[in-house]
Amino acid sequence: MSGVQTNIKAKAHVYGDHIDTDRIIPGKYTKTLDLSTLANHVLEDLDPNFNKIVQPGDILVAGINFGCGSSREQAPLALKQAGISVIIARDFARIFFRNAINIGIPVLEIADHNIQKDAELDVNLKTGIVKDLSTGKTYEATKLPDIMIDILNEGGLVNYLIKHGNYSL
Amino acid sequence: MGQTISEKIISNHVGRKVYAGELVVSKVDAAMASDTTAPLTIKAFQDMGGKNVFNPNRCAFIIDHAAPSPNERIANLHKMMRDFAKEQGMRLFEIGEGICHQVMVENQYVKPGDIFIGADSHTPTYGALNAFACGVGSTDLAATMMTGKIWLKVPQTIKINCTGTLQDGVTAKDLILFLVGKVTVSGATYQAIEFCGEAFEGLSLASRMTIANMSSEMGAKTGIVHPKGLQLDYDFDPIAPDEDATYIKTFNFDVSGLEPQVSAPESPDNVHNISNYEGTKINYAFIGTCCNGRLEDLDIAAKILKGKKIHPDVRMIIAPASQRVLLDAMNNGTMNTLIEAGASLITSGCGPCVGTHQGVPADGEVVISAANRNFRGRMGNPNSNIYLGAPSTVAASALDGHITNPKKYMV
C-alpha cells in the first residue's frame, strides 16, 4: 500500500449505534476549508472530551449505521484531521463509507464485533484481520469491492484519478 | 429476468443489462453541489487535475445552505463558487433562487430515466421524477464533474407497496414519516426503494418529492416513486419495473386509516401517531426545506392560519423552497395570509434546518418542523428538541402553542 499504512496498533474510542454526521461535525462548522476547525469540533455534541484525549493513530469504533445523515465529507475529514487512522463499525451509512475511502481513511465493517471502550487493537489493513489485544478476540472485516481497495491503496480518489485519469474496473 | 426501476435505468446508461450486486462505471446525466459541499469539490477537482467539467450545461452549483452569507468566511467560500462556475461556464444559482433539489427539478436538470449525482444527501428527492438519483460527498462529485461518470454497485431494491388512499387532513409527509418509522433509519442502507401502490398514484409531483426526499432517512442509495400517475409539463417515457423483477424485501401497508404522524427527538424514525405528542408545548414552528417548502405545503399552512394569529409564545419561520415557490405564494395570497398570521419570511434556503443561521433555537426550546431531520444539534443547538411533522401539523401547532392534530382545522 503506497498511501496507507498496513498495520495499525492503537487504542479504540468506542461509541454506539446511529452516530449521525451532525454528531461527528455539526453543520454550523462545516463551511470551511480549514481542517483544524473541523478537528477542534469533532464529535463535540457526542463526547466533549474526544478531541482532548484522541492521539494520532487512534482507532474509532462504532455500532451500526455509523455516519448516517448528511453527505458532508467534512465528517470523515474531521476524524482524519483529529488523528483517527481507521474506523471500525458494525456497518456504515453509504455516503460516509464512500467519503472515508475517497479521502483515504480505511473503514472496516465488522458486523459481529464486541470491542469495548479503550481496547488495544491490532489492525491489518491488507487482510482485514482485527485483533482485540484486550480480550484476545480476532475479527475479520467484510472485504471491500476491488475499486475501493484500489482507491484506498492510492491514498484516496484524488490520487487515484491523478494516476488513472478515469475510473477503471 | 425482470428488472427493477434502478436496474433498468442503470442498464440504459451502461449499455447492457445489469442486475443488483454488479459493479459498474456509469455515465451520469447531471451533477450539482451546494455551498456545504462545493468548496471541497472545487479543491478536489483542481487537485485531481480537472480542467473542464464534463458538460457545463449539466453541472450546477447552488448557494442555499448558508444564504445569504452569515460571515466573511462563508462569503469567501461563496465567491470561490461563483468564480469557479464563471470560469467553467456552468450555472450558479444565487442566494434566494432556492434550495438545490427544488431548483434542479424546476430548471429541468433532471428528468425521468436520468442518473443524477448530487453532493447532498437528499439528492434521492428526484426519485419523484422516476430518476435514479444518489447523494455523494465532495470528492466523488469532483470526480463525476471531471469524468461525467460514477462507479456504483447496482443496488438491491426494497419495494414499499401502499394500498388505500390517505384520509382528508393526512398528507404525503405523514405517509413518509410513517414509512421511515417502519423501515427505520438504517433499514434500506446501500439499497434502492421503490414506492408503489394506490396511495402514491394520486400524489402531486411536490408530494412525490416529499416521499422520495426521505428515502435518505432510511439510509437508501435512492428512492424512486412508481411513475403511475406522474404528471409533468413535458412528455417523457416512464420507467416501470418488470412484473417479475427481484426485490430483497417487500413491505405492504394499507394506509387508508393513517393518522397524522410525528417524529420525536432525536432520530427521524422515532415516529408515532400524533396523539402521543398532542399538548407538547412548542416555542418555534418552521416550514421550509427540500422536504416541505413547496407551494402546496405553504398553501395548506395558509388554509389553517387564514384570519388567525399564531400563539403569542410561538415564533414561526417560513422558508419557501425556491424563488418560484415564493412568487407563486405571493400571487395566490398564501404569503400574505402567513405573514398576517404572524409568520416571518426568510430567504429561500436551508439555513434553519441545517443549523447554519436564520433561526437557531435556544437551550431547552422545542421546535415543530416540517423538515426531514431531528438529530441532536441539527438546528444548531444540541440543547434544543426537534419534532418533525407535516406542514399542516406545524401550522396547527403554531396556532395552539403545542403539538396539535391539524385535522380539526382542516374540515
Nearest to B186 among A65, A77, A102 (CB): A65
User: What string of DSSP letters covers B19-81?
Assistant: -TT-EEEEE-SEEEEETTTHHHHHHHHHHTT--S-S-TTSEEEE--TT-S-SSHHHHHHHHHH
CA distance B226 to chain A (A): 23
Residue B21 has pLDDT above 70, yes or no: yes
User: Measured between CA atoms, how close is A73 to chain B, in angstroms?
Assistant: 5
DSSP B91: E
pLDDT at A168: 81
B36 closest CB neighbour out of A31, A94, A99 = A31
Quick: pLDDT tens for A4-49: 568 999 999 999 999 999 999 999 999 999 999 999 999 999 999 9
Q: Is B153 exposed, middle or buried (0-12, 13-18, 19+ CB in 10 A)?
A: middle
- Residue B288: CB partners within 8 Å, gap ≥ 6? B317, B318, B319, B320, B321, B346, B352, B353, B370, B371
pLDDT at A169: 77
Q: Which residues of A touch B189 (CB under 8 A)?
A: 65, 91-94
Contacts of A169 in chain B (CB under 8 A): 23-25, 151
Looking at chain B, which residue has its C-alpha nearest residue A103? B139
Query: What confidence tens digit (pLDDT) does each residue in A149-165 have?
Result: 999 999 999 999 999 99
Average predicted confidence (pLDDT) for chain A: 94
Question: What is the pLDDT, as a whole number, of residue A6?
Answer: 84
Name the residue in chain B with its Cα closest to that of A75.
B137
Cβ–Cβ gap B190/A94 under 8 Å? yes
pLDDT higher than threshold 60 for residue A1? no
Structure ipTM: 0.94
Q: pLDDT above 90 covers what percent of chain B? A: 100
Cβ distance A158 to B219 less than 8 Å, yes or no, reads: no
Using the beta-carbon criterion (under 8 Å), do B139 and A32 form an inter-chain contact? Answer: no
Average pLDDT, integer, range B43-63: 98
Read off the pLDDT of each residue in A110-117 and give the average, rounded to a whole number.
97
The pLDDT value given to residue A4: 56
pLDDT tens track for B175-227: 999 999 999 999 999 999 999 999 999 999 999 999 999 999 999 999 999 99
Q: What is the pLDDT of residues B155-174, one digit of tens each?
A: 999 999 999 999 999 999 99
Inter-chain CB proximity B137 and A73 less than 8 Å: yes
> If you average pLDDT over every residue of chain B, what do you get?
97
**Model confidence band, residue B39 (pLDDT cutoffs 50, 70, 90):** very high
β-bridge mates for residue B117, sequence order = B31, B134
Continuous H helices in B100-197 = 100-106, 138-147, 172-183
Residue in this structure with the C-alpha cell 482507532, named with its chain if needed: A59
β-sheet bridge partners, residue B262: B272
Residue A3 scores a pLDDT above 60: no
**Position A2 pLDDT exceeds 60:** no
The whole model's pTM is what?
A: 0.96
End-to-end CA distance of chain B: 48
Q: Which of A69, A71, A165 sits opposite B375 (nearest CB)?
A: A69
> A163 with B149: CB under 8 angstroms?
no
Q: Do B380 and A28 touch (CB under 8 A)?
A: yes
* Nearest residue, CB atoms, B185 vs list A18, A73, A158: A18
Q: Which of A32, A94, A107 to mutate to test the interface with B (most CBs of B within 10 A)?
A: A94
Phi and psi at residue B402, in whole multiples of 5°? -150, 165
